[in-house]
Amino acid sequence: MKENIEACRKALSCYDLDDNARTVQQKSRDFYWYSPVLKELLDAVCGDFVVAPRNEAEIVDILATCHRHDVPVTVRGAGTGNYGQAMPLAGGAVLHMKHMKNVIAVADDHLIAEPGAVLARVEEAAREKGREIRLFPSTVATATIGGFIAGGSSGIGAVRWGGLRNPANIRRLRLVTMEAEPRILELTGDDIAKAAHAYGVNGVITEVEIPIDPAGDWVDVLIGAEDFNAANRLAFLLGDHPQIALRMLSTFQAPIPERYFGRYQHFTRPGDAAIALIVARDCLPALEEIVAGSGNAAIRFPVDGHAKGQRLPPIHEIAWNHTTLRALKVDDEITYLQMLLPQDDLEGSLRRIEETFGEDLLMHFEFTRFAGRLSAVAMPLVRYQSTEHIELIVETLENGLGLTVFNPHRVTLEEGGMKRTDEAQLQFKRENDPKGLLNPGKMIAFTDPDWRWEKDRIFLFNSEKK
Ligand SMILES: Cc1cc2nc3c(=O)[nH]c(=O)nc-3n(C[C@H](O)[C@H](O)[C@H](O)COP(=O)(O)OP(=O)(O)OC[C@H]3O[C@@H](n4cnc5c(N)ncnc54)[C@H](O)[C@@H]3O)c2cc1C
């Protein structure tokens, strides 16, 4: 071990510190392997030790100690992030939030939790008081609330509440800075975007406050449609229908359902495109009527009770990024992309994509809201051949077909989701982590201030504040 790492490790030995090579390697990994490109690139990445704080005071001392010894710190929730987000590219300490897992308070309209609280437990705590959370990723069963806010972007609930960084979806973040004497900051309002989806590069989140709402009685429904365009037309109708309250709305091109839906395959028909929904129980009669009236779709997975004995996973585990996981279980040559197609020309864009890529690119949409407008975000499954081939597909989609790709085969904030430098986050990092020790290598602009994404491109998050 290098001298500074060894000195730091010794200074932190009073805490829950683990330097067993196997544990350190295990806790230095996330779902980076989802991307064959990142798998090759990041396979050797490993921290030097794992330290698990029990409270905020310990975090303050751990960060001050690491700062003194110039040791990088990468925060880890559950390690379900996809882009090597929680991987310590420069080694050093992995700050594992496993002990800080309490839901601190559930009030009428908000909930306060420690960052390591698993989202399923957070939802359960809300439900114990007749409330529910607004958004969760399809990894809700294992992912932490801190990791979701720092690394995630959207998920179940987005069809109603939009993406995670919408001002309505996070109320307050408390975080510790990486300085000689770490400060404790409380972020509210627009300032939240300085730490939300920042991969933990500008402070360690120690407390989260989110809004909660009266709990719904939700049921899972799977609809088969004659083709993907019919599925999307029906999805848009349902998503904005005044009689239908939804928590999730997803569509899938054939043959995704019959090939990859696991135990839900039982409910699909060959050639079916599909719509997966989480819908309010009292909207079911209206749903049945609308689907029957559409003429080219039918409910395949009858709601509740009818599937007794099937031991089905919750339907969100075929949607969002679980679609890729399902496909990978069947075919390890599958990977994925994230895209935004022009909403006023979805069918034209889909036709051009199909003509260009055929079955090498199969479409899957997740429905969300941008500024209140129901919109489809594309998460297509792609057949992987090589890194060069993936780059060529992205190049063809962007420059040949004029579409927007948020490349999940990238480790940095700018090249993946943001497609730009977030000036507010960059400035915040300079103030909170002047030595650049938090999750190094994830924010290009910090090390290369002249880095620029091409002008006039669409970006996902609109939080720029000078
Ligand atoms: C099958 C599958 C499905 C998925 N579905 C979705 C989805 O629907 N929506 C979605 O948004 N994502 C999705 N993801 C990505 C990921 O699961 C979620 O974003 C999840 O919420 C991350 O939580 P985590 O606890 O695993 O975070 P980690 O992977 O541990 O960390 C994620 C990032 O947050 C940082 N971080 C963690 N805790 C803190 C903290 N306390 N303070 C500061 N920084 C911190 C880490 O350094 C890292 O950069 C999916 C991933 C997989 C593998």
Query: Of 26, 55, 76, which is best to mutate to test ligand 1, by the most ligand atoms within 8 angstroms of its C-beta?
Result: 76
**What's the CA-to-centroid distance between 52 and ligand 1, angstroms?**
18
The answer on pLDDT for 453 being more than 90 is no
Q: What pLDDT score does 309 carry?
A: 63
**Domain 103-215, classified CATH 3.30.465.10, yes or no:** yes
Residue with tokens 């309250």: 245
Residue with tokens 């700050």: 95
Q: Give 466's pLDDT tier (boundaries 50, 70, 90).
A: very low
User: What mean pLDDT do residues 44-61 have?
Assistant: 98
Which residues, other chains included, contact 25 with Cβ-Cβ below 8 Å and sequence gap of 6+? 46
Nearest CA owner, ligand 1 atom 31: 147
User: What mean pLDDT do residues 416-422 have?
Assistant: 72
SS3 of 250, please? strand
Structure tokens at 401: 């077909």
| Cis ω for the linkage preceding 255 (within 30 of 0) | yes
**What's the CA-to-centroid distance between 307 and ligand 1, angstroms?**
31
DSSP 328-367: HHH-TTEEE-EEE--GGGHHHHHHHHHHHHGGGEE-EEEE
Taking each helix axis from N to C end, the angle separating 56-68 and 3-11, rounded to the nearest 10 degrees, works out to 150
Q: What pLDDT score does 422 carry?
A: 84
Write the pLDDT tens digit of every residue in 362-405: 999 999 999 999 999 999 999 999 999 999 999 999 999 999 99
Q: Give 420's pLDDT tier (boundaries 50, 70, 90).
A: confident
CB neighbourhood size of 195 (10 A): 25
> 218-406 adopts what CATH topology?
Vanillyl-alcohol Oxidase; Chain A, domain 3 (3.40.462)
> Residues enclosing ligand 1, CB less than 6 A?
30-31, 74-82, 85-86, 97, 115, 137-139, 143-144, 146-148, 150-155, 199-200, 204-205, 320-322, 325, 439
Residue limits of CATH 3.30.465.10 in the chain: 103-215
Query: Of 102, 123, 148, 247, which is best to mutate to test ligand 1, by the most ligand atoms within 8 angstroms of its C-beta?
Result: 148
DSSP 79-96: S--SSSTT--TT-SEEEE
Q: What pLDDT score does 180 carry?
A: 98
What are the start-end ranges of the H helices in 210-299?
228-239, 256-260, 284-294
What is the rounded distance in angstroms from the CA atom of residue 296 to the CA atom of residue 271? 13
Q: Give 423's pLDDT tier (boundaries 50, 70, 90).
A: confident
DSSP 407-435: -TT--STIIIII-S--HHHHHHHHHH-TT
Assigned architecture for domain 3-96? 2-Layer Sandwich (3.30)
Residue limits of CATH 3.40.462.40 in the chain: 218-406
Ligand 1 atom nearest to CA at 148? 21
Residue limits of CATH 3.30.43.10 in the chain: 3-96
